[in-house]
Structure 1
Amino acid sequence: MKPVMSVIVVLLAAATPVQAESDSLLKPIAADRAQEWLTPQPPVRIFGNTYLVGFGGLNIALIRTSDGLVLLDGGLPQGVRRIEANIRSLGFEPGDVKLILSTEPHYDHSGGLAALARDTGAPVIASAEAAEVLRAGKSGPDDPQMAWLPPFPPVEHVRAVRDRERLQVGDVTITALATPGHTPGSMSWTWRSCEADRCADVVFASSLTPLAAENYRFSAPANETAVSRFRGTFRRLRSLSCDILLTTHPAASGGEAKLAQLQKSREPNPFLDPRACAAYADTYEQAFTKRLAEEAREGQPRP
């Protein structure tokens, strides 16, 4: 009898990888970037009820409320199991997630949303523009990077929210902030987090990089609205009450250095910086201005 049981155990163990590989929602995307973006990183509490459960190159945020959890972004499909493991290592369960918030409908931040929504049973929340892309699993021609972007698993259950709409989960209120530019449907999110006798306004901000595919020009007359929206996003971020800034890619806001410092000592907390959002906007508005100037030079007749 014992040998039979051993055979069964071996067969079950061998079947597990096959089942994982056959899961279409976990099929790897951008394997060449995965090593950079999905660097393993232990989950960490940033401040109060705010945690990071993602990777060295991709931030996935988690908010603990009195009525469950809120997850922000989904990373790549092949990172989903690590996100879920990180949630568990904090003493929670993926099934405790009540909402999944999306910053931008690109594969590196949204590729894992379909699997996470399935595994947690939580709806995905996004801007109206992003919701259309998430349901389709691919970007439209209004996205500056559309020509570069691989498709990702479509998300079945997406609820669109308006700019400044408030979402209440237990004792936490999360506000949606439209921050278009990097994508037409980019959305940032803000909430209040308290620790001991101090409270801080946390902002989980979408990407601001003015990347675009080879044939896309922000300065083209057809993209005048896109330029105006990008400029509006920079102004908005400067005006926010922003004590703690977390960005979708930590390197975009010095998050890697802050995290390394936090792991050495929590006091003073390196993430507490009321100038962080303004500095983030300043950095990428300069990059955007440089991009427009380069496009203008490219459009001039050659001597």
Structure 2
Amino acid sequence: MTKTLSALAAASVIWTAPALAQPADPLTRPIQPAYAARWLAPQAPARVFGNTYYVGFGGLSLALIDTGAGLMLVDGGVPQGVAQVEANIRKLGFRVQDIRYILSTESHWDHSSGIAALARGSGAMAIASASGAEALRLGRSDPEDPQAEDLERFPAVGRVRAVRDGETIRLGNATVRAVMTPGHSPGSTSWTWKSCEAGQCRNVVFAASLNPISSDHFHYTRHPRRGDLTTGFRAGMRKLAALPCDVLITAHPDHSGFDAKLKAAEAGRAPNPFVDPGACRAYSAKYEALLDKRIAGEKSEK
């Protein structure tokens, strides 16, 4: 072989075609990854009680209900967390494809922006309040939202059903009731159901956020179009406090001490640390006190 042929042969061995860039998946493209990282500490999935499981993160809650005829998932987290949520579901022995409904608490990107990807992977229908359903379809939070100026857009969801206050979603052996708790967002929705094990049933509540925070120029006491929003906000808090509530999961676990309960469960603490009949009342009281503080602050600005 000549030197020229040898050189060509060597070149043919080491030369490879440039890799083609793969298009990013628009449904799992990260949203504010540096900011969202505060919520996404890995968390082992856990059985909470009966057919209710935790499949979320250290700072962001998602719950799974095994109805015997398919799964219900509460909330969707963020796009960059979808793979971990799906992995948590599989670790529990369930199939992502068996999710039939995804119940939404609020149309903020930290709780809703993963729904589109999870619905695509499962074929599930998303269910939310009327305001929340419209936001999911559009891929943006309600313009009337207290945090509207600061909220990110998110992937729109194709199949969405709106529910009214008190309406129930039935699947298999589970009946889940929507409880409207507006304030943190216009369409904030909490969800409640019964879970049973060893002949004992408990009332489970997955509560939407009650935190009265907002963008800088928003006022709960003097909304330019809707007037004073605090009466409705307070009514939702008290409605939540009055629910039969043995087990409380909050949209962010640290808002109610659920993060500490997860750690206690991992340590094998007995009796079941998730069972806490006073949790809904304590959660509501904590944030009603913050609402009172917020109202006093707004009045002092006049």
TM-score normalised by the chain length of structure 1: 0.91
> Does structure 1 retain, via aligned residues, the 8 Å contact 2:135–2:142?
yes
> 1:210-259, CA deviations, whole angstroms, 9 ceiling, x for partnerless residues?
01101101111534352221011111012100000000000000011111
* Aligned match for 2:297, one of 290, 294, 298: 294
State the SS of the aligned residue for 1:193: strand
> 1:174-215, CA deviations, whole angstroms, 9 ceiling, x for partnerless residues?
111111010000111000001112210000000000011011
> Does structure 1 retain, via aligned residues, the 8 Å contact 2:221–2:228?
no
State the SS of the aligned residue for 1:26: coil
- Partner residue in 2 for 1:8: none
- Alignment RMSD (CA, Å): 1.6
- Partner residue in 2 for 1:135: 137
- Partner residue in 2 for 1:55: 57
* Aligned match for 2:209, one of 207, 223, 237: 207
- Partner residue in 2 for 1:3: none
* Aligned match for 2:264, one of 244, 261, 266: 261
> Could you tell me how far apart the structure 2 residues matched to 1:255 and 1:53 are?
13
Larger Rg: 2
- Partner residue in 2 for 1:189: 191
- Partner residue in 1 for 2:103: 101
State the SS of the aligned residue for 1:192: strand
Matches within 5 A, 1:1-303: 19=22, 22-220=24-222, 222=224, 223-224=226-227, 226-299=229-302
State the SS of the aligned residue for 2:227: helix
Q: CA deviation at 1:67?
A: 0.1
Structure that is richer in helix per residue: 1
Q: CA deviation at 1:296?
A: 1.1
Unaligned runs of 5+ in 2: 1-16
Q: Could you tell me which amino acid in structure 2 is paired with residue 40 of structure 1? A: P
Q: CA deviation at 1:262?
A: 1.0
> Could you tell me how far apart the structure 1 residues matched to 2:150 and 2:273 are?
35
State the SS of the aligned residue for 1:219: coil
> Does structure 2 retain, via aligned residues, the 8 Å contact 1:163–1:176?
yes
> Could you tell me how far apart the structure 2 residues matched to 1:96 and 1:179 are?
29
Q: Percent identity?
A: 52
> 1:246-287, CA deviations, whole angstroms, 9 ceiling, x for partnerless residues?
000000000111111111125211111111101100000000
> 1:26-50, CA deviations, whole angstroms, 9 ceiling, x for partnerless residues?
0111212222111111111111111
Q: Could you tell me which amino acid in structure 2 is paired with residue 141 of structure 1? A: P
Unaligned runs of 5+ in 1: 1-10
> 1:80-129, CA deviations, whole angstroms, 9 ceiling, x for partnerless residues?
01111111111111001111100000000000011111110010000001
Q: CA deviation at 1:140?
A: 3.0
1:140 and 1:197, CA in 2 relative to 1: closer, same or farther beyond 3 A? closer
Q: Could you tell me which amino acid in structure 1 is paired with residue 274 of structure 2? A: F
> Could you tell me how far apart the structure 2 residues matched to 1:79 and 1:230 are?
30
> Does structure 1 retain, via aligned residues, the 8 Å contact 2:222–2:229?
no
Q: Could you tell me which amino acid in structure 2 is paired with residue 205 of structure 1? A: A
1:296 and 1:225, CA in 2 relative to 1: closer, same or farther beyond 3 A? closer
> Does structure 2 retain, via aligned residues, the 8 Å contact 1:65–1:172?
yes
> Could you tell me how far apart the structure 2 residues matched to 1:271 and 1:140 are?
33
> Could you tell me how far apart the structure 2 residues matched to 1:283 and 1:109 are?
21
TM-score normalised by the chain length of structure 2: 0.91
Question: How many corresponding residue pairs?
Answer: 285
> 1:10-67, CA deviations, whole angstroms, 9 ceiling, x for partnerless residues?
x9xx88xx65x61000011121222211111111111111101110010010001110
> Could you tell me how far apart the structure 2 residues matched to 1:293 and 1:226 are?
14
> Could you tell me how far apart the structure 2 residues matched to 1:235 and 1:255 are?
20
Runs of 4+ in structure 1 deviating by more than 4 angstroms, as ranges, are none
Q: Could you tell me which amino acid in structure 2 is paired with residue 234 of structure 1? A: M
> Could you tell me how far apart the structure 2 residues matched to 1:156 and 1:96 are?
18
> Could you tell me how far apart the structure 2 residues matched to 1:183 and 1:71 are?
20
> Does structure 2 retain, via aligned residues, the 8 Å contact 1:184–1:226?
no
> Could you tell me how far apart the structure 1 residues matched to 2:290 and 2:80 are?
31
> Could you tell me how far apart the structure 1 residues matched to 2:228 and 2:63 are?
31
